[in-house]
Amino acid sequence: MTPFRGLLLYLAAGAAWVGAGELLLARLADPEQIQRWQTIKGGLFVLLSGIFAWWLLTRMRRAEQLRGALARELAQLAQAAPAGMARVDPDSLRILWANERLCSWLGLSSQEVLQRRFRDLVVPRDLGQAAHQMDDLRAGRVTHYQGERQCLRADGGAPLPVLCNVRLVAAAGDEPAQLVCVLQDMSEIVAARQALARSQDVLALALEGSGSGLWDWDMAARRSTYSSGLLRLLRHQGRPPRSGSLLLARLHPDDRDRVQGAVEQALASGEVFDETARLRRFDDSYCWFHARGQLHLNAQGEPERFSGTLTDLTARRAAEERQRLATTVVDNTIEGVVVTDAQTRILSVNAAFTRILGYGEDELRGRTPRVFKSGRHDKAFYEAMWASMARRGHWRGEIWNRRKDGQVIPERMSLSAVRDAQGGVTHYVCVFTDISEEKERLAQLEFLAHRDPLTGLSNRLHFGQQLQEAVAHAQADGERLAVLLLNLDRFKDVNGSWGHAVGDEVLKHIAAQVRSALRPGDLIGRLAGDEIAVVARQLRHADGAAAVARSLIGAVGQPWHSPDGIAVVVGVSVGIAMFPEHAGTAQLLLQDAHAAVYAAKARGRGAYAFFDESMTQGARERLEIEARLRQAMADGHLQLYYQPQVDVASGRIVGAEALVRWLDPQEGMISPARFIPVAESSGVIGALGLWVMREACRQARHWQTEGLPELRVAVNVSPRQFHLTDVAGGAAQALAESGLAARCLELELTEGALAERPEEARQTLLRLHGLGVHTAVDDFGTGYSSLAHLKRFPIDVLKIDQGFIRDVPRSGDDMAISAAIIAMGHSLGLKVVAEGVETPEQLAFLRARGCDLYQGYLCSRPLPAGEFAQLLRAQA
C-alpha cells in the first residue's frame, strides 16, 4: 500500500467513525449523556488510532531492520565473492564502486579505483568489438555480454586474464542507470589452455621424432588420412592420397593374406592390430615395416575409426643382424669386449667384460660407456682419443675405468671403428685387459724410488727434481713461485718424551695436515727428519707466499691425539725464498729458504720470514693503496664506466656492464688490476661493491627519467664480496633507494664464487631470484665448475670469456668451445653473452650460432655515463 492510499483509508475510517458515532448517539443516548458518550467515543478513537500507529511503526522498524540486514549481507557477499565486481557509469565508464577482490587484482585501494575508467583498468582484447558490444547493450539489442579481458596491475606486474560479464541496470527512482560488471579469474583456464597447446605440440613433435607415421580410417565416411611422417616413410611426393587401400594395396604378395586376416580379426574382435610386413614404397623398393592399430567405437558402441602407427624396421633388422655377428666374435675372446653403435650406445658385451667390470649385458644395453667412466681423465684426454679415432679409425692406450662395485681399475684398451661400404661408422668395438696388478707393481717401485716411506711425501731426491722442473716452467712462463721450508719446533722433545713411535705418528699427522692445506699444483717433500719443504706456485706477489706460510703454520698447529687421549702440539718456523726475486735455481732457492728459517726462529717460534726483507716494500705499497682507496671512496674519486651489451639479432643496445674506474687527482687513472686485489684482500671490496651497485642502479634509473630506453645494467660481484657480504640485501637496498625495477639489475658472478660454498651460494641466488634480480655467470668456461653443478643454481645468463672469442674465427678449438657454451646455455633456457667482440667476423660467427648478446670494442669501449647516454640517443 502506498502512503497516499494509506492516508485516504485513514481519513475514510475516521469519517466513518465520527458519522456512525454521531448517528448512534443521536438515536440511542439521552440528551443529558451525549456529552459523556462523545468523550468516551473520542477517547476510544484516540486509543485505536494509537494502537494502529504503534502497529505500523513496529512493522516499519522490522522492515527497516530486514532491509539493513539484507543490505549488509549483500555487501558482505559482494566483498567476499571470489569474483571481481564493479558498478560503472554507462556514459563515462567511470567506476562507481568495486569490491575488494577487484581492487586486489588491480593493485589499487578502493579509493584509488573510484573515478578511474573501467576500460583503462580492465582492458579488452579488441577495443572495437568492446565498443560495439556496449552500443548494443545501450540500444537494448542485448541484455548482457561477456568477453575475455586483462586486469592491469598498478605495480606493472603480469596482467590477470579474466572473463568479464557486463549487464545494464536501468534507472529506477533516484538511482541512475548503471553497468554491473562481474569478473572471473581465468588464470587457471589460460594456464590449462597453454598446457594443452604445449602437450599437443609435444605429442606432434614426439610422433615426428619417433620416426613413425600415423594412419586413420574413418569407417563412417570411408575415408583414410595419412600423416606426413608416414608418407615420408613410403617416400611419397606430391599431394597426400585419399585412397582407403593405400597400405593394403602396397603389401608384399607373401604378406598380404596374413595382414588382411589380422585386420579383419582386429575389426571383428576389437583386439590390438600388431603386424610386421613388407611394403612397397613409392620408389618401388620393398622395406620392412611394423604396423600397430586399434579399433575405436562411438558412443553407441558402433565401430567408428580404425587408426594406428607405422614404423620403418629396415635399420633395426640390419642392426640386429650385425649385432648377431658381433656377438659371435666377442663371445670367443678371453679379453673384455664391448660393441656399441655409431652413437656409442652399448649393444653387447662378452663374458670377460662381465668378469672384469662386473656389469651384465642387460644392465648396459642401450647405455653409453660413460657409465663406467672413472673421472680420472680430463676433457683433453677424450678429445685426443676421439681425434685419433677420426684420423686413423682406431686408438690404443691406457685408460682408467670404474667397476660396478665402484673400484677404479687401469686397462690397456684398443678401440676400433667398424665402417660400412660407404665408409660411414656403424659400430665401435672396444677390447681391453685389466692391468691392475701390473700397475700395482710399477706403483710400488715408483713409490720406493720417489717417496718417503714414513709420510708418503716426496723424498729429498724426488722433491729436488720436482723443484727443478717447477723452476724451469716458471722461467719459461714468467711464473712466480716460492719455496717454503718448514722446520718443526721442539720435535726432539717429542721423541725424547714420548718415544720415536709417537714421533713417527706425529710426523705423519703433520704431513697430512700440510698436504691438506696446500693448493692445487703446489709441491711438498720431506727433506730431513724434522724438515718439510713446500713449493707454492702461481703466486702474484710475496703476500701470496706469506698467506701460504700462515696457512701451513695453522695446519701444523693442529694437535695430534693418541689413542690414550694424549694431545701433542708441535710448532713450526717457516723460511721463504721467492723465485725469481731471491734466486734463479732450485739449489739456491733451498739454500735461501734454509737461511730464512733461522731468521724466522729468531723472531720467535711459529713465525715466518722472507729471505730478503725488501719484499716488505710491496706490503707497504698495498697498505698505501688500501688507505688511498678508502679515501677515494669518501672523496668521490671513483666513477663508473659503461660498456654496451648489444642484441646480436637486432644490433640494438639492450644493456650495459658497469665497470669501476679510479681517477686519482695526483696519479691519474689507476688500473683496476692494482686496486681490486687490494680491496679483496683488505675487506674494502664489501663497501666498494655496494657503492658500485647503488651507483649503477641510480644511473640506470636516471637514464629512464631522461626518456632513454630501459636497459639492464650488469654489476660484477667478486667471490670475496659474494661470500662475506649480504649481496641480496645490498641489491634490495640499492633498488629501493634508486627506484629501479629489479628486472633492470643483473649481478655477474664467477664460477669460482659458486663452487666455493655451493649450498650457501644457492640460497643467496634464490633470494636474488625472489627479488626479481637477474644473475649471470661471468667468464664461463674458465673455472672448474661443471654444467651439472651449475644447473642447480637459478642462473639467467652465461657470459663467454673473451679468451674464447679473441681467436675466432682463426681457432677452431675456440669456435667449438664457444658454440658448445651457446648450445648448453640455450638447452638450460639461459641467455648467452659473448665478451670481447672486436671484429665483424666474430659477430657473424656468434650470429650464426644463435648467441643472444655481445659486448666489446666492435660496438664501443667502456664509456662514462654522459657519453654512454649520447650513444643511446644516437641509436634512437
pLDDT tens profile 129-181: 888 888 888 888 888 888 889 898 888 888 989 989 999 888 877 778 888 89
pLDDT at 615 over 50: no
Residue given cell 580404425 in the structure block: 306
CA dihedral angle for residue 221, residue 223, residue 224, residue 225, rounded to 10 degrees: -80
Lowest mean pLDDT among 376-385, 522-531, 613-622, 658-667: 613-622
- Mean pLDDT for the stretch of residues 546-563: 87
* Residue 757 CA: distances (Å) to CA of 155, 583, 591, 752: 36, 38, 39, 9
If one compares 360 and 751, the residue with the highest pLDDT of the two is 360
Kind plus residue range of the DSSP H or E element containing 638 = strand 638-647
Residue 71 has what pLDDT?
A: 53
Where residue 784 falls among pLDDT bands split at 50, 70, 90? very low
Question: Over pLDDT 90: what percentage of the chain?
Answer: 23
Residue 3 has what pLDDT?
A: 63
For the segment 628-671, what is each residue's pLDDT rounded down to a tens digit?
A: 888 888 888 899 999 999 999 999 999 999 999 999 888 888 88
Amino acid at 237: Q
Where residue 613 falls among pLDDT bands split at 50, 70, 90? low
Residue 541 has what pLDDT?
A: 84
Proportion of the chain in helix, strand, coil states, percent, rounded to 5:
50, 25, 25
| Whole-number Å distance between alpha carbons of 19 and 478 | 133
Give the best-scoring range by mean pLDDT among 66-75, 273-282, 495-504. 273-282
Cα 405-408-411 angle, rounded to 5 deg: 120
SS3 per-residue string spanning 283-313: CCCEEEEEEEEEEEECCCCCEEEEEEEEEEC
| Whole-number Å distance between alpha carbons of 48 and 52 | 6
Kind plus residue range of the DSSP H or E element containing 424 = none
| Whole-number Å distance between alpha carbons of 10 and 266 | 90
List the alpha helices (DSSP H) in 665-757: 672-682, 685-705, 719-724, 727-738, 751-756
Where residue 616 falls among pLDDT bands split at 50, 70, 90? very low
| Whole-number Å distance between alpha carbons of 856 and 643 | 7
Single out the residue of 810, 761, 819 nearest to residue 785, CA to CA: 761
| Whole-number Å distance between alpha carbons of 664 and 682 | 20
Single out the residue of 773, 816, 768, 823 nearest to residue 798, CA to CA: 823
| Whole-number Å distance between alpha carbons of 846 and 811 | 14
Residue given cell 670469456 in the structure block: 801
Amino acid at 334: I
* Residue 413 CA: distances (Å) to CA of 161, 300, 335, 347, 717: 63, 66, 10, 18, 46
Where residue 856 falls among pLDDT bands split at 50, 70, 90? very high
Task: Indicate the burial class of 846 (C-beta count within 10 angstroms; 0-12, 13-18, 19 or more).
Answer: buried
pLDDT at 350 over 70: yes
Q: Please provide residue 101's backbone torsions phi and psi, each rounded to the nearest 5 degrees.
A: -60, -45
Residue 789 has what pLDDT?
A: 61
Buried b (16+ CB within 10 A) or exposed e, 226-245: bbebbbebbebeeeeeeeee
If one compares 618 and 846, the residue with the highest pLDDT of the two is 846
Beta bridge partners of residue 339, listed in sequence order: 348, 429
For the segment 395-436, what is each residue's pLDDT rounded down to a tens digit?
A: 999 999 999 999 999 999 999 999 988 888 999 989 999 988
What integer best gives the mean pLDDT of the chain? 84
Where residue 269 falls among pLDDT bands split at 50, 70, 90? confident
For the segment 223-258, what is each residue's pLDDT rounded down to a tens digit?
A: 888 887 788 888 887 776 665 567 888 889 999 899
How far, rounded to the nearest angstrom, does the alpha carbon of residue 586 sit from its chain's CA centroid? Answer: 49
| Whole-number Å distance between alpha carbons of 551 and 524 | 14
Whole-structure pTM over 0.75, yes or no? no
Residue 867 has what pLDDT?
A: 93
